[in-house]
Chain A
Amino acid sequence: ETGVTQSPTHLIKTRGQQVTLRCSSQSGHNTVSWYQQALGQGPQFIFQYYREEENGRGNFPPRFSGLQFPNYSSELNVNALELDDSALYLCASSPRTGVNTEAFFGQGTRLTVV
């Protein structure tokens, strides 16, 4: 069974640029969530996708957007990058949506905005 994989592992971008982060969910999982974890803080929920539809969103501006594909893999897109977007971005997949469901996390993409 393959776990959650994220790419790239590290990325450096310039302020104002756009970035796309990718996530392959664990086999059999149809739900993907994205989180932003700044240094020394807990992860903050960005949004969740279930069967290619967004079904929950945290307090992030519209320049944070996402996609989920028919194979349940997912992308996180961030436009007009700001210095404060520098963080570890975590993807988590689940076998179903719902508040009781465990999330399986990838190791993250470390984004640095300069």
Chain B
Amino acid sequence: AQSVTQLDSHVSVSEGTPVLLRCNYSSSYSPSLFWYVQHPNKGLQLLLKYTSAATLVKGINGFEAEFKKSETSFHLTKPSAHMSDAAEYFCVVSDNTGGFKTIFGAGTRLFVKA
């Protein structure tokens, strides 16, 4: 059965410092993994996706994530936080077992301090 665990409900960083948002997943098959961002009063937007082509995935706005099968992790990173990165981030897993299904993690709220 699929599951997604985002290990931190809140993360606070200073502007210009690195960002790490952690995600572990469980999936019976080769998963498709995504990170989405939700800014206040805006729709969810895709940051990046992993689809088995490369384990290090680069996304928009300087974000990247590394798929580690041995650790069942898909952590999101950014070298230098910007104030505009403050938002809710969701790790997502999808598969087609018994019909299409997708599961969102509970989310991590990122705060960026000036």
Contact = CB atoms under 8 A, between A and B. Distances in A.
Contacts, number: 61
Interface residues of A, number: 27
Nearest to B45: A105
B96 interface: yes
Interface stretch (A13-21, A62-70, A71-79, A96-104): A96-104
Interface in A34-73: 35, 41-45, 48, 50, 55-58
A64 B104 CA distance: 19
A107 interface: yes
Nearest to A35: B104
Interface in A13-35: 33, 35
Contact of B100 (A41, A44, A48): A48
Nearest to A31: B100
Contacts of B104: 35, 42-45
B106 interface: yes
B101 A100 contact: no
Given A42-B105, A42-B107, A44-B104, A99 B42 contact: no
Given A55-B100, A99-B100, A42 B90 contact: yes
Contacts of B44: 43, 90, 92, 103, 105
Interface in B34-57: 34, 36, 41-46, 49, 51
Q: From DSSP, what is the main secondary structure of chain A's interface residues?
A: loop
Contacts of B102: 33, 45, 99, 103
Interface string B70-107: 00000000000000000000100011100111111111
B43 A99 contact: no
Interface of A: 3-4, 33, 35, 41-45, 48, 50, 55-58, 90, 92, 97-100, 102-103, 105-108
Q: Which 10 A-B pairs have the closest CB atoms?
A: A56-B100, A42-B104, A56-B99, A105-B44, A99-B32, A99-B94, A105-B43, A100-B51, A43-B104, A107-B43
